[in-house]
Amino acid sequence: MFIKQRSESAELKLLKYLNTRMNLSDNDMRHFSNIGKGYEGELKFDMLLDNLSDKRLILSYLLLDVSNTIFQIDSLLISQKSIFLIDVKNFEGDFYIETDRWYTSSRNEIKDPLLQLRRSESLLRRLLQDHKLNLSIEAYLIFINPEFTLYQAPRDLPIIFPTQLNRFMKNLNKRSSKLNEKHSKFADLLVAKHMNESSFTQLPNYDYEQLRKGVICEGCQSFLISVEKYKLACNSCGYKEEIKSAILRSIEELTLLFPDRKITTNAVHEWCEAIVSKKTIERILTKNYKRLGYGWSSYYVNS
C-alpha cells in the first residue's frame, strides 16, 4: 500500500522549464538528463511495487533530516519486522569494480553508489533509535535498467541486478507480514518529516528577461500554440488543452521559477505572451487563487 506517492522534484521541474525557455550548458544538460533518467527508473520500480500485496507500507522518495544531516531515500517498505531501504539506479551500459572502485567500460571512475545506500541506512537506523523502534533494516541497491551489466562484483554486495529483480519481488511478496498501529505511526512520522526542498539542487543562473515567454505545450514542450475557442492547440504535435488548465500550469511554472515575484494579471499575461486576454486571465486567477489588495496593487496567492 502506497502511503506516499512519488512526484517530480522541484529541481527536475525547474530544469525541465529552463531547458525549454533557455539554452542550457553542456554540463547542465548532462545533469538534467541524469536526474530525469533516474526519475524514470524510480517510476519503473514503483510499478513493480504496485503489484505487491497490502502487507507492507510503501513510501516513495523521502528527503529527511536526522541530526542536521540530510539524506534521500528512493523507496522505503515497512513490513512487520523489517524496513526495506531501497536505492534505485537507472544506469545503462557496462561497468566494473576493481579494488573497491567503480568504473565505466571506458575506464572512467564513478562514485561508488553503495556509499549513498550505507549512509542512508546509518541515518535511518539512528532515526529508529531516536523513536525507540525495534525494526531491522534491509538495504538494497537495485539496478532497474535491463541494459546494465556490472563485472567483477563481489557476491556478497547488497545489489539486485535486472535479471534478479522479478525473483526479488516474488520473494518479497511471499514474506509474511502483519502490520499494526506502530507501523502506521512510523509511516506518518516519515511523511511529516519529509522535506519538500533540498539545499543541494544544481541549477544554472537565470533571470526573468533571458527566459523565453509563452505557453509551453504539455505534449511536446514547444511554443507553437494557437487559440481554438476554449482550448489551446499545439501547431507542432496537435495536442489540445483547456485554456484554464494551460494558464494554471503556466502560473505554477512562473511561481516555481520566480517565487519572489508577485502573481498579478499583468504578470501572467506577459509570461504567457498575451496568448489570451487579461480578462480571461483575471477570471482564472479569481476562481483559483486568493486576491490580496485592491486596484493596481492587488496580487494573488494560493488560497
Span 236-281, pLDDT tens digits: 999 999 999 999 999 999 999 999 999 999 999 999 999 999 999 9
Residue 225 has pLDDT above 90, yes or no: no
Predicted TM-score (pTM) of this structure: 0.89
Residue 224 has pLDDT above 90, yes or no: no
pLDDT for res 42: 97
Closest CA to 138 of 58, 81, 60, 61: 81
Give the DSSP H/E element, type plus range, for residue 119: helix 113-130
- CA dist 231 and 262 (Å) reads 26
Name the DSSP letter for residue 105: T
